[in-house]
Amino acid sequence: MPSLTRAQRLADRIREVLAELLLRETSDPRLSLVSVTEVRVDREFAYANIYVSVLDADLARRAEVLKALVGARGFLRHELAGRIPIRTFPQLRFLWDDIPERAEHLQTLLDSIEPNPDRGEKDDRKNG
């Protein structure tokens, strides 16, 4: 059974090569601006869970991107297998990663909070 370190190295390499493939070698316009945020390979190297995201994507855009990736799965797996030397290449599973969108939403909320000048004065009095 392969080690976790080897699985992580393979996941990192898949993420690098797949990001390059999506950027330079796919002609499907639905895959423009898709980011590969994370790849997780199981210990048996049977499956690679690939997490993708597009900023400012609504539900329709998410479904469109995932449908395009599933449609291109054979091409992408073939290209990855040709560039990453491994005996049997894992099956690709594409999943939506909503963490970047949640982080952007949290940042917007934090930016909307106005500092309370009265509170700052009270804190200064306690310290001084």
Q: What is the pTM of this model?
A: 0.76
pLDDT at 108: 80
Q: How many domains does the chain divide into?
A: 1
Six-digit token string for 70: 């599933």
CATH number at residue 65: 3.30.300.20
For residue 60, give Cα distances in angstroms to 29, 30, 56, 57.
15, 11, 11, 8
**Residue bearing the bigger pLDDT, 4 or 46:** 46
Domain residues for 80? Answer: 4-98
Q: What is the pLDDT of residues 65-92, one digit of tens each?
A: 999 999 999 999 999 999 999 999 999 9
Whether 104 is in a domain gets the answer no
Whether 121 is in a domain gets the answer no
Whether 124 is in a domain gets the answer no
Q: What is the pLDDT of residues 87-114, one digit of tens each?
A: 999 999 999 988 766 777 777 888 888 7
Whether 84 is in a domain gets the answer yes
Whether 112 is in a domain gets the answer no
Whether 126 is in a domain gets the answer no
Q: String of b and e for 98-109 (b: at least 16 CB within 10 Å)? A: eeebeeeeeeee
